[in-house]
């Protein structure tokens, strides 16, 4: 029984990744041997039963000769770029706390896309207190607004009037 869905089956047939016993049946085993990944991992990835690393998705895309963004779409996740994100060279100027904050922001922004939602989705933008544990919210210390010069001058005049 051929349980490999389209468009996987066509891409595998196009690259000759078929059952070694002959015929035109695409084979997870043939693809797995080529990229050194167990066939059950590939099958679970294609069916959505298991989330697979970007590394494996990239290997599959290369083996099939398909853009990695397309393969990501086949496995139900969005990916805007062909290659993984590399931070700018100035990132080495950040201390550990700043790097953790940036990493957390990236994780939160990407979460909605992993689920196949747009970043503008209400679920991806939870607000504290709305049935939320607070774990998803980055809290920065509040700073008092710096008064404008004219506000300070006006307060001094008011104090003189008293």
Q: Report the CATH number at residue 55.
A: 1.10.260.40
One domain, residues 54 and 94: no
pLDDT at 64: 96
One domain, residues 29 and 56: yes
Query: What is the residue range of 144's domain?
Result: 89-161
The domain total for the chain is: 2
More confident site: 111 or 153? 111
Question: Does residue 153 lie in a domain region?
Answer: yes
Please determine, for residue 107, whether its predicted confidence score (pLDDT) is greater than 90.
no
- The most confident of the ranges 35-49, 66-80, 145-159 is 35-49
Question: Does residue 84 lie in a domain region?
Answer: no
- Of 91, 93, 72, the C-alpha closest to 81 is 72
Q: What is the Cα–Cα distance from 36 to 57, expressed in whole angstroms?
A: 12
Q: What is the Cα–Cα distance from 19 to 12, expressed in whole angstroms?
A: 10
Half-sphere exposure of 31 (CA within 13 A, CB side): 30
Domain boundary among 49, 74, 99: 74
Per-residue pLDDT of 14-39, as tens digits, reads 999 999 887 889 999 999 999 999 99
Question: Does residue 66 lie in a domain region?
Answer: yes
């Amino acid at each position: 029984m051929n349980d490999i869905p389209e468009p996987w089956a066509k891409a595998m047939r196009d690259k000759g990744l078929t059952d070694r016993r002959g015929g035109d049946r695409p084979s997870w085993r043939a693809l797995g041997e080529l990229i050194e990944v167990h066939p059950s991992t590939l099958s679970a990835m294609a069916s959505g039963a298991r989330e697979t690393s970007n590394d494996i998705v990239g290997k599959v895309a290369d083996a099939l000769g398909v853009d990695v963004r397309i393969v990501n779409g086949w496995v139900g996740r969005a990916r805007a770029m062909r290659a993984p994100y590399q931070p700018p060279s100035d990132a080495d100027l950040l201390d550990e706390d700043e790097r953790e904050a940036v990493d957390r922001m990236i994780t939160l922004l990407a979460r909605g896309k992993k689920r196949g939602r747009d970043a503008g989705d209400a679920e991806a933008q939870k607000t504290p207190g709305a049935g939320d544990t607070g774990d998803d919210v980055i809290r920065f210390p509040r700073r008092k607004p710096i008064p404008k010069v004219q506000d300070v001058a006006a307060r001094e005049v008011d104090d003189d009037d008293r």
